[in-house]
Chain A
Amino acid sequence: MHWFKYALALLSLVGFWFAGLLLSQFIALPASLLGLLLLLLALMWLKQIPSALLRVSQFVLGHMLVLFVPATMGILLFGEKLAGNLWWLVLTIIISTVISLGITAWIAQRHWQNHEPADIPIEDHDD
């Protein structure tokens, strides 16, 4: 009956997304974000993560990249618009990223100089 549990977990993700979609008619936030926050509230109420939901979400989050391939392909339509300023755009991303990375890490180190934060659970997912 494992597949049934996993199907249910997957359906619950769709259900929470749908609830977020309904809620987004009243609150000016993206539907998925509202669905995410609703699921977070549900987990806080449950005080634990159902094991099937954990497995399903690890799989989904691990392979999420494929879901934004169609959107990313849209970049091919913007080639001409961006071409003129491409180097400036690339440089802006590199410089802003490098500076914020440095400042954030430096501030974090100063901020925690006296008391280091306690170890936290390990959670691995990539996109």
Chain B
Amino acid sequence: MLSNNSELLSAAIWVCITLLVYLGSLLIYRVLGSRPLFHPMIFCIAILAMLLFYAGVNVKEYQSYTGLLSWLLGPATVALAIPLYTQLNSIKKNGLGVMLPIIVGGALAPLLALIGLYFLPMEASIKLSFLTKSITTPLAIETSQYIGGIPELAVVIVIFTGIVGAIFAASIYRLLGVKSEQAQGIALGTVAHAIGTAQGFQMSQKVGAFASLGLCINGVLTAIILPIIFFLFS
């Protein structure tokens, strides 16, 4: 892909620009009070889209220049084993019963989305990209690729799902009378992955800890089960 020096230079420049835009977006997010509505990814996309437009670089070129970052996502995803290992102890302590709500939530979220899209006249690949909506982004990217979805779309759906979950959680819990902090956390982490978990930590440490459990277990279970289902039916 990167055949000569000028392309290598472009790659170095765009990787640096991406890092700077990321840091800038993080700063904007913090300044605005770390609200889920102002997720840093929103600013990242907007700023980079403008920069690409003015530089006359198209998205495909940008993606090949920043291939290093995408490649690093693989080893970074492996690092999820560490929080998962920490959570294994809590499953041991609480028994497998702690898994029931996670399994229910993990199955319900993609199924409901699929029902909502069933009659839309759209390509299957777009609909399949909704199946990973509730799992953490790195696992969603690879899983959606595996089941014939569109990774680019899957990322956006995952982040939007997380934002929606984080914004509405408190009102839904009030409406349904869910007062148990454990239940609040498990649901947030299972349905709204890392963005929901971050919101959980803002509600209380306990909600956040249980959200981490939901995030880890649902992420890995969904990433294992979806490819197997597609392997069996294709």
- Chain A residues within 8 Å of chain B by Cβ, number: 83
B84 within 8 A of A: yes
With A68-B73, A101-B172 known as contacts, the answer to whether A77 contacts B223 (CB < 8 A) is: no
Q: How far is the CA of A101 from the CA of B175 in the complex (A)?
A: 12
Residues of B within 8 A of A108 (CB): 100-101, 178, 180, 182-183, 186-187
- Chain B residues within 8 Å of chain A by Cβ, number: 118
A1 within 8 A of B: no
Inter-chain contact count A-B, CB under 8 Å?
339
- When the two chains form their complex, are residues B104 and A104 in contact, meaning their CB atoms are under 8 A apart? yes
Residues of B within 8 A of A65 (CB): 22, 40-41, 44, 137
Q: By DSSP majority rule, is chain A's interface helix, strand, loop, or mixed?
A: helix
With A28-B231, A30-B143, A68-B155 known as contacts, the answer to whether A92 contacts B113 (CB < 8 A) is: yes
Q: By DSSP majority rule, is chain B's interface helix, strand, loop, or mixed?
A: helix
Residues of A within 8 A of B89 (CB): 120-121
B128 within 8 A of A: no
List CB contacts (< 8 Å) of A1-41 with chain B: 10, 13-14, 16-17, 20-21, 28-33, 35-37, 39-40
Residues of B within 8 A of A85 (CB): 120, 122
Q: How far is the CA of A125 from the CA of B115 in the complex (A)?
A: 32
Give the residue of A35, A61, A78, A107 whose beta carbon is less than 8 angstroms from that of B152: A78
Q: Distance (Å) between the CB of A104 and the closest chain B CB?
A: 3
- When the two chains form their complex, are residues A73 and B77 in contact, meaning their CB atoms are under 8 A apart? no
- When the two chains form their complex, are residues B152 and A20 in contact, meaning their CB atoms are under 8 A apart? no
B78 within 8 A of A: yes
- When the two chains form their complex, are residues B156 and A119 in contact, meaning their CB atoms are under 8 A apart? no
With A32-B77, A53-B82, A61-B79 known as contacts, the answer to whether A104 contacts B197 (CB < 8 A) is: no
11 more A-B contacts (CB under 8 A) besides A39-B82, A96-B133?
A16-B81, A35-B74, A56-B79, A66-B69, A77-B152, A97-B164, A104-B102, A106-B176, A120-B89, A123-B83, A124-B212
Where the two chains meet, the residues of B that have a C-beta atom closer than 8 Å to any C-beta of A are 18-19, 21-22, 40-41, 44-45, 48-49, 52, 59-60, 62-63, 66-67, 69-70, 72-90, 93-94, 97-98, 100-102, 104-105, 108-109, 112-113, 115-117, 120, 122-123, 126, 130, 133-134, 136-139, 141-143, 145-146, 150-153, 155-157, 159-161, 164-165, 168-169, 172-173, 175-176, 178-180, 182-184, 186-188, 190-192, 194-195, 197-198, 201, 205-206, 208-210, 212-213, 220, 223-224, 227-228, 231
A-B residue pairs in contact (CB < 8 Å), sample of 8 = A30-B139, A69-B22, A70-B62, A72-B156, A77-B60, A93-B133, A101-B191, A126-B195
